[in-house]
Amino acid sequence: MVNMDITIDKIEDLGWDAFFESKRTELGLDSFSIARVIAEHRGVYRVKNENGEYAAKITGKQIFRAVSREDYPAVGDWVTIIELDNKQAIIQAILPRRSIIKRRFGDKNKIGEKNDVQIIATNIDMVFIVQSVGRDYNINRFERYLAIAEDGDIKPVIVVNKIDLISAEELNSKLMEIRNRLSNVDVIQTSTANNEGLDELRNYIKKGKTYCFLGSSGVGKSSLINRLLGEDIIKTENVSSCSDRGKHATTNRETYFLDNGGIVVDNPGIREVGITDASAGTNSLFGEIIALAKKCKYADCAHIHEPGCEMLSALKDGRINKDRYSNYISLKKEAKYYGMSDLEKKETKGRTEIDRRRIGRAWKLVEISMPISISRRSGCSRLA
């Protein structure tokens, strides 16, 4: 694997610090070897410490005891291991996480159908949220990623990439739109084609800290990391010329070590940025909207059609931005479902259960016909 030959002298070079040291001591795990999960592929974790890298697994007993996805190790985790022969190891325990980036995936329109949580990475200090200025660019998507970052208590930085593809005027209007909508976030503009903004990106990266690149497929996450590495270590793939979508060149989460001591996690492109219980995130992300919500005369107002709703009147007279409002409402709806108690979830599920049974057959047909619609999409018949 790519980073195999990178040896580290001390565990601090992998991001270990006083926080994890104290957790380890608190849990009485001082006598066990520790390592960091740097990659995952189908239930096998690659873990690394000052003695090298190991292919590690968890025990059947741990799988049996796992209640949710969060009980499994994830890339970025600190774990205690038992070293075996041939650079194999068994993961014994996961140390408490300092931060966690997770998303919900599944069909957000079909409440109760499938709402799985995926852990993207843990113990991340800063997240770079990347979009390319191409046709797939969407400012709402930044807001979704920001909600995920805030929920994980991780500082986000917006990276607008491929700026070589548009004119200075177009770029300025995009940046202005970002500044108007997302005023408290750092924004950098980059191009791996002409190296613009790469020094600025590099300046964010500090020794012993861990960074994560998030964004859709094809936006240039791996290309940016290659620039930081100083050579093309990670495989990249051209985007489809007609749809402007990436081809999912990166398939596994993988950690890279930069010369300046920074630790960087590359991620596969994310298809759908479903938020989990990001209500905390949405609360500070939409500060001015929340303030209006508090002024609303109905305590349980949904701010969608209630007559006399303060938010709707602000929307009408232009005190709040229409796009921000609609993104807020849709994120809130998602977060609300996620924040429901188990009982509420069951009730909602019960309602959809009947519908699901009724459309059971149609459901199967949809699954079977999927590859056709995918191949149609990549065949770009739209533009032919």
Ligand X SMILES: Nc1nc2c(ncn2[C@@H]2O[C@H](COP(=O)(O)OP(=O)(O)OP(=O)(O)O)[C@@H](O)[C@H]2O)c(=O)[nH]1
How far is it, in rounded angstroms, from Cα 180 to Cα 184? 10
d(CA 172, CA 24): 48
Q: How far is the CB of 312 from Zn ion (least distance, A)?
A: 6
Measured CA to CA in angstroms, residue 384 lies from 222, 375, 377, 378 at distances of: 30, 14, 11, 12
Contacts of 319 (CB under 8 A, 6+ apart): 292
CA dist list (Å): 221 to 41, 211, 345, 362? 19, 12, 36, 38
Say whether residue 315 binds Zn ion (CB under 5 A). Answer: no
From the list ligand X, Zn ion, Mg ion, none, partner contacted by residue 76 (C-beta under 5 to 8 A by kind)? none
E strands present in 9-142 = 33-41, 44-49, 52-58, 78-83, 88-94, 100-105, 116-122, 126-132
* Number of residues that make up the chain: 384
Q: Helix, strand, coil % (nearest 5) of the chain?
A: 40, 20, 40
> Binder to ligand X among 219, 228, 293, 311 (CB under 6 A)?
219
How near is the Cβ of 219 to ligand X at its closest, in Å?
4
By CB under 5 A, is residue 332 in contact with Zn ion?
Answer: no
Structure tokens that stand for 112 in this block: 């109760």
Which of Zn ion, Mg ion, ligand X, none is residue 282 near (CB under 5 to 8 Å by kind)?
Answer: none
Residues in region 122-181 near ligand X by CB under 6 A: 161-162, 164-165
Q: Is 216 a residue that touches Mg ion (CB under 5 A)?
A: no
Decide if residue 189 touches ligand X (CB under 6 A). no
Q: Which two tokens stand for residue 210?
A: 């861990």
72-80, 178-186, 211-219, 319-327 -> range binding ligand X (CB under 6 A): 211-219
Confirm or reject binding of residue 314 to Zn ion (CB under 5 A). no
Bridge partners, 70 (sequence order): none
What is the three-class DSSP state of 160?
strand
Quick one: what does residue 309 bind among Zn ion, Mg ion, ligand X, none, with the CB cut-off 5 to 8 Å set by partner type?
Zn ion
Binding residues for Zn ion, total number by CB under 5 A: 5
Question: Whose Cβ is closer to Mg ion: residue 221's or residue 332's?
Answer: 221
303 binds, among Mg ion, Zn ion, ligand X, none (CB under 5 to 8 A by kind): Zn ion
Is residue 79 a contact partner of residue 37, using CB atoms and an 8 Å limit?
yes
What x/- string results for residues 283 through 312 when contact with Zn ion is judged by CB under 5 A? -------------x----x-x-----x-x-
Distance (Å, whole) CA 23 – CA 214? 28
Nearer to ligand X, 161 or 327 (CB): 161
Does residue number 320 form part of the binding site for Zn ion (CB under 5 A)? no
Site membership for Mg ion, residue 123 (CB under 5 A) = no
# chain residues binding Mg ion, by CB under 5 A? 4
Nearer to Zn ion by C-beta: 34 or 314? 314
State the residues that interact with Mg ion by CB under 5 A.
221-222, 249-250
Give residues in contact with ligand X (CB under 6 A).
161-162, 164-165, 191-193, 215, 217-223, 236-239, 246, 248-250, 268-269
